[in-house]
């Protein structure tokens, strides 16, 4: 059985600002490893630790180039604008067009504690920015304009992800024909 399960919109851990990782110990490595099956199973291309109830600044990803882990990530530079239909595993089956910087320069640590510096564009840049938001307790809903957010919140209240089974959530994603 999976050690962690996905947390959904309405779960208070998703609104917390996650704590900096001060020590990359065996426990943290295990959390990172255990996050991958949750992400692949969803399926998704990125997953932040708060989404499995761990309020630490770390996220995992795999957008087709193999698995990656970033710890204490920080955007040091961003440029341009890019609008993309964005979804979130914690708000399953729903997505919205969101505009964010197109290119970013991201720094952080890998799982061995080495400093990493990444120049990312479009989908890759989007993924990092989305996961970084999770570490600040920000869901994509907060990136919507007031009117769209109100509608989104109404839909989310009606769906009530918290009380749904995994099968029900999958069915809703299907019915809405969204990623």
Q: Could you give the angle at the alpha carbon of 71 between the alpha carbons of 82 and 102, nearest 5°?
A: 10
CB closer to Ni ion out of 24 and 156: 156
Q: Say if CB 110 and CB 70 are below 8 A apart.
A: yes
Which of 124, 131, 142, 158 is catalytic? The answer is 131
74 is catalytic: no
Please state the closest distance from residue 74 (CB atom) to Ni ion, in A.
18
Please state the closest distance from residue 113 (CB atom) to Ni ion, in A.
25
Q: Say if CB 63 and CB 45 are below 8 A apart.
A: yes
Footprint of Ni ion on this chain (CB under 5 A)?
88
Render 114-141 in DSSP notation, one character per residue: -EEEEEEEHHHHHHHHHHHHHHTT--GG
By Cβ distance, which residue is nearest to Ni ion? 88
Classify residue 81 as exposed, middle or buried by CB count within 10 Å of its CB (0-12, 13-18, 19+).
Answer: exposed
Please state the closest distance from residue 88 (CB atom) to Ni ion, in A.
3
What is the set of active-site residues? 131
């Amino acid at each position: 059985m999976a050690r962690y399960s996905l947390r959904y919109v309405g779960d208070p851990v998703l609104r917390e600002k996650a704590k900096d990782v001060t020590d990359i110990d065996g426990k943290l490595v295990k959390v990172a490893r255990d996050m991958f099956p949750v992400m692949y199973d969803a399926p998704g291309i990125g997953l932040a630790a708060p989404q499995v109830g761990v309020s630490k600044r770390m996220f995992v990803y795999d957008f087709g180039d193999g698995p990656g882990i970033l710890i204490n990530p920080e955007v040091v530079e961003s440029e341009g604008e890019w609008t993309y239909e964005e979804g979130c595993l914690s708000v399953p089956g729903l997505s919205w067009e969101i505009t964010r910087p197109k290119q970013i320069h991201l720094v952080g640590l890998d799982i061995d504690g080495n400093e990493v510096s990444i120049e990312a564009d479009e989908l890759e840049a989007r993924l990092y920015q989305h996961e970084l938001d999770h570490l600040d307790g920000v869901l994509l809903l907060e990136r919507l304009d007031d009117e769209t957010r109100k509608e989104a919140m109404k839909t989310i209240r009606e769906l009530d992800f918290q009380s749904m089974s995994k099968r029900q959530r999958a069915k809703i994603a299907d019915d809405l024909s969204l990623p």
